[in-house]
Amino acid sequence: MEILRTVNEVRQWVQAQRVAGRAIHFVPTMGYFHEGHLSLMRRAKADGGAVIVSIFVNPLQFGANEDLDRYPRDFERDRQMAESVGVEAIFYPDMAEMYPSGYQTEVRVKELSKPLCGKSRPGHFEGVATVVLKLFNIVTPNRAYFGMKDYQQLRVIQQLVRDMNLPIEIVPCPIVREPDGLAMSSRNVYLTPEERRAATVLYRSLQWAQAQVESGERDAQKLRAGVLERIAAEPRARIDYVEVVDAETLLPVERIERPTLIALAVFFGRARLIDNCVVAI
Ligand code: PAF
């Protein structure tokens, strides 16, 4: 497996793959891999391309009081995990390679960046859109793989690709969960054992909402109130938001009539966890 540290090294590697007639399948990440990341890499591999993963903890998408400094990192572990699922190259740039001095351009996907996490993390999706556009321009993938846990991120990137006419197929991949339902996240390492147990309330609440829709509930406010009530019953949970929105526009809905996203962000101690489900009728 190749470890590529510079944009030029990536370009040369990509060129060699293309000459060999191979498609480029790309998994952008911030590292500290878990089964969720590996599921994206396995899917990219199964789809038959040369798989390249990027690892870059992007400062542009962290707010001033967020966890940039303590975001977990372990390159050697990541390298081994990626290799074990057949990844052929890792792009592992340093800060100066991605944002050399004098860097000044930012990209904004206007409407989709506003609601949900955009409200509590101002500037976050501009940081994501900017680094993903840069990575896409460096790697020039045929396909790129994104997990649905970061559902709003996925929508922002789908819109970016459409608006900027990028010839890249975005492949959404299902959320991977622990056996007790907690969505896999690099940030789960921040949880104490008690918080880790308490955090299972998130998936249970989403499952409750899903079951309600399956048995005919169409009132978005009732679903939202029910999820809020269930999470609020857990004393270790501090709710950032629970929203019921159109799965495409991310705008609030009154009734469940089209594919609808139930999305939430909740703090347990210093970990801010997100989760969601899409209900379709
Ligand atoms: O989902 C992530 O890990 C990051 O937001 C991404 C897409 C790699 C951009 O930094």
Give the pLDDT confidence of 76-110 residue by residue, as tens digits. 999 999 999 999 999 999 999 999 999 999 999 99
Give the pLDDT confidence of 50-85 residue by residue, as tens digits. 999 999 999 999 999 899 999 999 999 999 999 999
Confidence category of residue 122, pLDDT binned at 50, 70, 90: very high
Give mean pLDDT, residues 272-278: 98
Give mean pLDDT, residues 197-225: 98
- Measured in Å, residue 152 CA sits from the centre of ligand 1 at 12
Are 2-173 and 186-275 the same fold in CATH? no
Q: For the chain, what percent of residues have pLDDT higher than 90? A: 99
Residues with CB under 6 A from ligand 1: 28-30, 58, 61, 128, 131-132, 150, 153
Mean pLDDT (the chain, rounded): 97
Whether 37 sits among the annotated catalytic residues: the reply is: yes
Beta bridge partners of 168: none
Higher per-residue confidence, 223 vs 280: 223
What number does the ligand 1 atom closest to the CA of 29 have?
8
The pLDDT of residue 224 is 98
Please tell me the class of the 186-275 domain. alpha beta
Give mean pLDDT, residues 189-201: 97
The pLDDT of residue 138 is 98
At 32, the amino acid letter reads Y
Domain edges within the chain? 2-173, 186-275
Please tell me the class of the 2-173 domain. alpha beta
- Measured in Å, residue 7 CA sits from the centre of ligand 1 at 18
Give the pLDDT confidence of 243-252 residue by residue, as tens digits. 999 999 999 9
- pTM of the shown model: 0.97
Looking at the predicted structure, is the pLDDT value of residue 281 above 80? no
Cα–Cα dist 218/213, whole Å: 6
Residue closest by Cα to atom 1 of ligand 1: 29
The pLDDT of residue 207 is 98
Mutational pocket test of ligand 1: of 41, 109, 132, the residue with most ligand atoms within 8 Å of the beta carbon = 132
Looking at the predicted structure, is the pLDDT value of residue 216 above 80? yes
Q: What is the DSSP string of the chain?
A: -EEE-SHHHHHHHHHHHHHTT--EEEEEE-S---HHHHHHHHHHHHTTSEEEEEE---GGGS-TTSSTTT----HHHHHHHHHHTT--EEE---HHHHS-TT-------TTTTSSTHHHHSTTHHHHHHHHHHHHHHHH--SEEEEEGGGHHHHHHHHHHHHHTT---EEEEEPPPB-TTSPBP-GGGGG--HHHHHHTTHHHHHHHHHHHHHHTT--BHHHHHHHHHHHHHTSTTEEEEEEEEEETTT--B-SB--S-EEEEEEEEETTEEEEEEEEE--
Give mean pLDDT, residues 216-230: 98
The pLDDT of residue 246 is 98
What number does the ligand 1 atom closest to the CA of 58 have?
10
The pLDDT of residue 280 is 85
Q: For the chain, what percent of residues have pLDDT higher than 70? A: 100
Answer whether 31's CB lies under 8 Å from 74's CB.
Answer: yes
For residue 251, give both structure tokens: 């705008």
- Measured in Å, residue 94 CA sits from the centre of ligand 1 at 15
Mutational pocket test of ligand 1: of 37, 41, 78, 131, the residue with most ligand atoms within 8 Å of the beta carbon = 131
- Measured in Å, residue 125 CA sits from the centre of ligand 1 at 10
